Amino acid sequence: MSSADLFTRARQVIPGGVNSPVRAFRSVGGTPFFTESADGPYLHTADGRELVDFVCTWGPAIHGHNDPDIRAAVAAALSGGTSFGTPCPDEVHMAEAVVGAVPSVEKVRMCNSGTEANMSALRLARGFTGRDKVIKFAGCYHGHVDSLLVAAGSGALTLGQPDSAGVPAAFAATTLVCPYNDPATVRAVFAEHGPEIAAVIVEPYPANCGFVLPRAGFLGLLRELTAENGSLLIFDEVMTGFRLARGGVQELEDLRPDLSAFGKVIGGGLPVGAFGGRAEIMDHLAPDGPVYQAGTLSGNPLAMAAGRASLAKLEDRETYEALDASGQRIAEALRAEADDLGYPLCVHQCGSMFSAFFGTERVETFDEVKEADTERFAAFFHAALQRGVYLPPSAFETCFLSTHHTGPVLDRAITALAESLREAVRG
């Protein structure tokens, strides 16, 4: 069946025809395609097309799709069963791998998604500090956690509903929203509410409102203010953890948060999440402490096997250097094409993540993100898709690279993106 046929059927039995909103193409227009298989840097659609994929299953596929080592690890685990309801050896190995890679993490607990990891980290922060309020930043998305769907990014921003229906006002009232990259406001909020603030949660490099980088010293200020006020600093590294560096942004920035949330890469493409931090905080979790958190499939043997295989392929610095080199090539090509066109385009890139903001030359804040030309991005998206390159179907998402985006594949993609930019700008 064609993608159009499948989408028609899906809309009869699935809300909006999709199981995650941004997949519906609402912000770029058109009908979403359905993927039948994927391999390396390519998606193979129900319509018989082969697309170079810069979504990489929204981050996990750092080794490309259908990686043989990950597939073999899952197959071996599958031979022993799919779920036990007891601890399994790979849970221990996986926890040791995370603790060994991320200096701020002394203990870690596995869960099933990035949303669950952030939700659990927040509950733990509140339980540890005995406080209720949390600071988050406009445009940062930490999953569909009730109290954090306030000025959210990602799909919530794309669909024009950053404050979701179904979230009680009392929940939202515990969240204090600050502008990202605005030190003065954060200082003022701490001055007024310091003794009430359990934690600051932040995507250290926000990637759910496009890809935004911190101003010099901003993340360090968050570390200072939380320490001074007895609050915890939570880094949401669901996207950036093990992708930009083995130790994530906290390695790149040489900072140690109190708690961190992970997902995506550590699952090798299977459903997974994790949160960890200082032992004295993590020991407040049940069964040792009073903060309850549980999950039937947490530490699932298939996910643990896939995650271990994924992390085992990320132990050398050369892998990250190669990913960054590919990312730089794309960013430089887009900037050069925009310069030739005389068109303002802001391209942010770090390692294997990048995004382009149309119609502007500087994006450091959420307000500046919202000023970008989303209609021009939609034109760029469809021009690229027509040329066989799949980008995230939203101006407020981040592009991802894999280790397969090299050589002729990368050359082909760069040519297609440059041509698509030219078409989108000239109309």
Q: What is the pLDDT, as a whole number, of residue 134?
A: 93
Domain boundaries, the chain: 3-66+316-426, 68-312
When pLDDT is cut at 50, 70 and 90, the band that residue 157 belongs to is very low
What number is the average pLDDT over the span 174-179? Answer: 88
Instruction: Quote the DSSP letter at residue 387.
Output: T
Contact of 66 with 268, CB cutoff 8 Å: no
Contact of 73 with 308, CB cutoff 8 Å: yes
What mean pLDDT value characterizes the chain? 94
Q: Which CATH class for the 68-312 domain?
A: alpha beta
Q: What is the pLDDT, as a whole number, of residue 128?
A: 98
DSSP three-state, residue 396: coil
What number is the average pLDDT over the span 297-303? Answer: 97
- Counting residues of the chain whose pLDDT is more than 90, the rounded percentage is 89
When pLDDT is cut at 50, 70 and 90, the band that residue 174 belongs to is confident
From 250, 207, 247, select the one nearest 353 (Cα to Cα).
207
List active site positions.
Answer: 141, 236, 264
pLDDT at 303 > cutoff 70: yes
- Counting residues of the chain whose pLDDT is more than 70, the rounded percentage is 95
**pLDDT: which is higher, 176 or 405:** 405
Secondary structure (DSSP) of 259-311? EEEEEGGGGTTSS-EEEEE-HHHHTTBTTTSSB----TTTT-HHHHHHHHHHH
d(CA 26, CA 19): 14
pLDDT in tens, 308-319: 999 999 999 999
d(CA 123, CA 27): 33
pLDDT in tens, 30-75: 999 999 999 999 999 999 999 999 999 999 999 999 999 999 999 9
When pLDDT is cut at 50, 70 and 90, the band that residue 146 belongs to is low
> What is the sign, positive or negative, of the torsion defined by CA atoms of 133, 135, 136, 142?
negative
* Kind plus residue range of the DSSP H or E element containing 53: strand 50-53
In single-letter form, the type of residue at position 207 comes to A
Cis peptide before 287 (omega within 30 of 0): yes
d(CA 63, CA 328): 18
What number is the average pLDDT over the span 281-307? Answer: 97
- pTM > 0.85: yes or no: yes
Contact of 421 with 341, CB cutoff 8 Å: yes
d(CA 190, CA 228): 10
Q: How far is CA 77 from CA 73, 84, 89, 305, in A?
A: 6, 12, 11, 6
Residue 143 tokens, joined: 């999953």
Count how many residues are written for the chain: 427
Domain 3-66+316-426 has CATH 3.30.70.270: no
pLDDT in tens, 337-382: 999 999 999 999 999 999 999 999 999 999 999 999 999 999 999 9
Tell how far CA 194 is from the center of its chain. Answer: 29
Q: How many CB atoms lie within 10 A of CB 37?
A: 11
pLDDT in tens, 79-94: 999 999 999 999 999 9
From 417, 393, 96, select the one nearest 266 (Cα to Cα).
96
Instruction: Quote the DSSP letter at residue 210.
Output: S
pLDDT at 165 > cutoff 90: no
Q: What is the pLDDT, as a whole number, of residue 145?
A: 75
d(CA 377, CA 281): 43
What number is the average pLDDT over the span 298-317? Answer: 96
Q: Provide the CB-side half-sphere exposure for 161 (13 A, CA).
A: 9
Q: What is the pLDDT, as a whole number, of residue 377?
A: 97
Q: What is the pLDDT, as a whole number, of residue 149?
A: 62
d(CA 156, CA 265): 23
pLDDT at 325 > cutoff 70: yes
**pLDDT: which is higher, 318 or 147:** 318
Q: What is the pLDDT, as a whole number, of residue 161?
A: 42
From 349, 395, 404, select the one nearest 374 (Cα to Cα).
395
Q: What is the pLDDT, as a whole number, of residue 322?
A: 98
Contact of 118 with 261, CB cutoff 8 Å: yes
Instruction: Give the residues across from 176 on adjacent strands.
Output: 135
What number is the average pLDDT over the span 121-135? Answer: 96
Residue 114 tokens, joined: 């990035």
**Strands annotated E in 341-424:** 345-350, 353-358, 389-390, 399-400
The helix, strand and coil proportions of the chain, stated in percent and rounded to the nearest 5, come to 45, 15, 40
Task: Round to the nearest angstrom and report the end-to-end CA distance of the chain.
Answer: 33
Q: What is the pLDDT, as a whole number, of residue 150?
A: 62
Contact of 39 with 50, CB cutoff 8 Å: no
pLDDT in tens, 208-253: 999 999 999 999 999 999 999 999 999 999 999 999 999 999 999 9
Q: How many CB atoms lie within 10 A of CB 75?
A: 11
